[in-house]
Structure formats: structure tokens, C-alpha cells
Amino acid sequence: MPPAHDGDPIAAKRALRAELRERRRTRPQHERELATEGLTRQLIALASALGPRAISCYLATRDEPETRPFLSWAAEQGIRVLLPVSRDDGLLDWAPYDGADSDSAEGLDVIGMPVPTTELLGPIAINDVGLILVPAAAVDRTGMRLGWGRGYFDKTLGSMDRRPPVFAIVHDSEVLDELPREAHDQGVDGVVTPSAIHRFTP
């Protein structure tokens, strides 16, 4: 991991994100395929255990742990899935997943996430879900999440009065002992990796 930046969590986060992004970019294809298989099993197990009628998730970018096989399973089970779409004002809109968004014709939004092709719902649509699955660069063993620096999910999670279970999705090597943190950072209730589901005690 990058050297510590004493007293400067912003610089420490920046260095850590750069290293994690490069590791993901250079991950061999066979490792990606194995990770997708394992992650899909774990996500199905989590959703089956919690039994939500609606969830929020996201369409993974090329270097993120792949979510599409799980999203297809959820749609087949009749679980409503909402996908995030970032806005210029720092909030997230939500769009229903219809199974046809794997190569969105709409391109990427302002933070690089694939844009769903269905209707956009407002930010409050997420209040109806029973499970939130969020992207992350890493998560530590206290449940602190390191995002990619734009703050969209921190703002969304921090604004919810009654938050359902929130799980981050990362590779096994991205569950770390400790992460730098700032006051606005939002923790998660658990993390899903290709090999396991980790739950954190509040």
C-alpha cells in the first residue's frame, strides 16, 4: 500500500485510490472471470437471505467487480432493481433496471457509471429499497468505505432517515485493516467479495 500521509487523509485517500485503480486495471482476465462467478454467488446468497422486494445496485464499469449476472438473476426473481445516475448537483437519480442496460446506449454519466436506458426517477426513489449495494475502492474491517472521491454515495447514505442494509462490493484483497477517513465518510453494514460476505457490528 502507499506510504502513510500523516495528518492528511485527503492525500492518503488519493494515493490509495491510485494504487487500487491500477491493480484493478491490470487484473488478468481469468481472475476477473473467477471473481465474477464468486461474486455472483455471494450476492445471490445475500439477497436470498435478506429477501428484499427492491434493491439498488449499479452497472459495473470495465474494471469494477462485475454486477450484471447478479442483476439478471434479480430481475428473473422479480426483484425491482434501481440503478444510480449521477447529477451535476451531487445527488443521484435512480432508473429501473430492465435487463437491457449491459451496454447502455446512453454512455457514461458524470462520474463514469453506465447510464441506464430507462426512465429517470428522483433521488427519493431509493427510500423504497430493502438493500443497497454500492461500489467502493476498498472497505476496512470497521465498515468504513473508501469511494472514488466524488461523494455521491456518501451524500445519499448520509441523507437517509431509515437506511436499509448497505453492502459494498469489492475484491477480496480490497478489504483492508484500516482506511483514512473524513467526517463526511459513510460506513457500510457489510461487504461482499468473491469469496465471502462480511457483516460489521455497529
Asked if the structure places residue 1 within a domain, the reply is: no
Asked if the structure places residue 66 within a domain, the reply is: yes
- What's the CATH number where 76 sits? 3.40.50.10420
Determine how many CB atoms are found less than 10 A away from the CB of residue 142: 12
Residue 39 has pLDDT above 90, yes or no: yes
Q: How does pLDDT run across 180-200, given as a tens digit for each residue?
A: 988 888 899 999 999 999 999
- Average pLDDT (123-149) is 93
Asked if the structure places residue 134 within a domain, the reply is: yes
Number of domains in the chain: 1
Lowest mean pLDDT among 20-34, 38-52, 140-154: 140-154
- Residue percentage of the chain with pLDDT more than 70: 88
Asked if the structure places residue 13 within a domain, the reply is: yes
Which residues are bridge partners to 134 per DSSP? Answer: 168
Q: How does pLDDT run across 60-79, given as a tens digit for each residue?
A: 988 999 999 999 999 999 99
Asked if the structure places residue 185 within a domain, the reply is: yes
3 state DSSP class of 102: coil
Question: How far apart, in Å, are the Cα atoms of 64 and each of 49, 58, 67?
Answer: 24, 10, 8
| DSSP 8-state code for residue 113 | P
